[in-house]
Amino acid sequence: TPALADDPPELFRRTGERIIAAPVRRILDVLTDFDNYTGCVPLVSASHVVRRYGPRSADVYTLLDMPWPVPNRWVIFHVTTAETRNRVRVSLRKLSGDVNSGQIDWSQEPLSGGRTRVRIRLLLDPNLPVPDSWLKGVLDSAPIDMLQSIADRSTQTRSAQLHAATAGASAPTASTP
């Protein structure tokens, strides 16, 4: 993926695109469900709002579940939403935390038939004591995994989403070393 002029060269960059069979508003609801980023962002094991600026803007704490023996990392992202006549953009920018830099940008473009083209750009300088090969492997699948999660959550009914959130909160989790 080519670097943009304002991107530091040491960042890991990944992009992805997918057409999702859901309207922009439903996808926007998923992307601004700040307390449930665990279902959309790989390695995020917890998320919650630290400060809310409006229904679609907040500072969001995320805990990154790293493989043993690497300690977990945390990031507070400032999340903003910008809407134009034909696009919606959701951006996450690192405010603080124990990674050097992090940024996720989603853009959404409405298509005919209630479908939406969703694009993601992920930039990460994790400052982690893990091999680059492991990190690149995780990041190579991250856009695909995120877009699949967003598609799944965007096409669920509201009652199914509530049931999944409740079941997920009480279900045991396994970890892989």
At 63-97, the pLDDT tens digits run 988 777 778 888 899 999 998 877 889 998 888 88
Among 51, 65, 60, 63, CA closest to 33: 60
Cis peptide before 69 (omega within 30 of 0): yes
Rounded average pLDDT per 10-residue block, the chain, 177 residues: 45 88 92 87 88 93 82 89 86 85 88 94 72 74 88 75 52 35
Token pair 């790989």 in the structure block, residue: 42
To 10 degrees, the CA torsion angle through 59, 167, 143, 156?
A: -100
- Distance between CA atoms of residues 125 and 169, nearest Å: 29
Among 20, 6, 75, CA closest to 44: 75
Token output for 49: 């709002």
Kindly report the pTM of this predicted structure. 0.76
